[in-house]
Amino acid sequence: MSVRATDSLLADIVTVSGISGSPKMVVLSVNPEAKQVTTVWFSSDNKAQQGTFPASSLDRVEVKAETAKKPAAAKSKASPKKK
């Protein structure tokens, strides 16, 4: 599902829908009139890359919140054995 070129897209994570294995990219800016989105991502050699794409070619990545683990219950001291 393509995204809409609105300011609410800023800082969202997107991928290019037409490219398999597209890197995950962060939206830097949006031009709603031209329906263009500027993104940044890291290449395989850890260099920052920047590109501008039509909003219709991008898909939003669903980011799952990490499941918070409940802290382990405090262990109670074993009662002294009665003799």
Tens-place pLDDT, residues 31-75: 999 999 999 999 999 999 999 999 999 999 987 766 555 566 666
- How much is the average pLDDT of 2-31? 93
pLDDT of residue 40: 97
3-state DSSP assignment of residue 8: helix
> For the sheet containing 58-60, what is the strand order?
48-54, 36-42, 25-31, 13-16, 58-60
Map residue 3 onto helix, strand or coil: coil
pLDDT at 24 over 80: yes
What was the pLDDT predicted at 39? 97
pLDDT at 83 over 70: no
For the chain, what is the largest distance between any 2 Cα atoms, rounded to a whole number of angstroms?
84
